[in-house]
Amino acid sequence: MKRKVMWVAGLSLTIVMLIIGNIGFKQIFSLPEGFLATYDEIESANNNRIFGSLVSAQMQRSSQEAATNSPSEGTIVFKLFGFIPIRKMSVICSNEDEVYVGGVPIGLSISTSGAIVINEKMVETEEGFKDTHKSERFREGDLVTAVNGVKVSSLDELCEVIESSENENFEITYKRKNKLHKAIIKGERDVATGKFKLGLWVRDDVSGVGTLTYVNKETSAFAALGHAITDNDNSVDVFQGKVYDARLLGIDKGEKNDPGQLRCMFLTTDDVKGEIYKNTKYGIFGKLTDKEGLVDQNRLLKLGGRLSVSPGKAYIVSSVSGIREEYEIEIIKASYQAKADDKSMVFRVKDKRLLELTGGIVQGMSGSPIIQNGKLVGAVTHVFMSDPTKGYGVYSDWMVANEA
């Protein structure tokens, strides 16, 4: 009897271990709530047994939005043997809108929500030049966001709040490395105007060049860059921003410990191509008013979420040669990412044409679209400093989630 019990227990344990071994726990439980998915991606994941040979995923839109064509909330249920629920999670059901493929450099000019510190200076008073007796020193790149509790979104607003004050003590709220700090500064009266000054050189705009990733065919909403525009480690808050056509002047090839760059220029006197609304960890977002020269209007693709991405052959789109071309890469690693990150995948440049032109990935190529299996699945974000032939990419669904 004892031997029979042990045999039954051993058989039960073996069955349990076999079941567990055929469940993709990591793939199932590392997926974050609210990620982007399409019905065909779920079907493909089931067919390829991504979640294990004994588990299937079922996706359904929320009933009130099931008839719409726009992205909507829904649910995915992972079921063992097709009927035992393992996990239920929220998801964004993609409408599979088609997008124009980017791949060209664009000029980005942003007016910040605040004033960026350039340097400190003395204030000329009736008693001579004076320091403003700061409780702590400001650093280049600190972003002043409020004075005495009053929010300031520009250089003019900062000056207005300070110069209209009759109190010599100012509480300055500022951001450093994306963390808010406060400091008390004793202002000094300027000899020429009789108004208080803080003794800071500041500016309220930043500019740069990145690569356009995609443009929504129906709405003209665009995404670019794949990562945030920063100023001395501060993510730049957008007050308003504009997009311009950028001209490629030359290429500094990437080498080990030298990321190289695309040498581009743009003029803010040129025609504005669109508006920038958001600057996030996953790219720049806005709306184009003029797509001419920025997209190939004969080249449309659907966006693919992280379930569309797998190790293997893929392509990046870039116009480093002077025309928009696809270059072969190999996706080495595709992370499931339980939480948002702009380093979703690792890839290596395989195309000899691109290696000869740039040495791999260089600064300015951030935002270059990544295409796999006929879908736009992500964008280039960073290069490996130790090896310019390798880079990181962000999934397109992280970008789509930050459009709104």
Of 30, 38, 240, whose CA–CA distance to 154 is shortest?
A: 240
- Please pick, among 94, 308, 344, 366, the residue that the annotation labels catalytic: 366
CA–centroid distance for 13 within its chain: 46
Report how far residue 29's alpha carbon sits from residue 401's, in angstroms, rounded to the nearest whole number: 20
- Is-catalytic flag, 62? no
- Is-catalytic flag, 366? yes
- Please pick, among 227, 245, 318, 396, the residue that the annotation labels catalytic: 227
Task: Say how many C-beta atoms besides its own lie within 10 A of residue 374's C-beta.
Answer: 10
- Is-catalytic flag, 351? yes
Please provide the size of the chain in residues.
Answer: 404
Helix, strand, coil % in the chain, rounded to nearest 5: 15, 45, 35
Does residue 361 contact residue 258 with C-beta atoms inside 8 Å? no
Report how far residue 348's alpha carbon sits from residue 328's, in angstroms, rounded to the nearest whole number: 9
Of 84, 83, 80, 88, whose CA–CA distance to 22 is shortest?
A: 80
Q: Could you tell me which residues are beta bridge partners of residue 21?
A: none
- CA separation, residue 259 to residues 273, 305, 357 (Å): 28, 28, 14
Residues involved in catalysis: 227, 351, 366
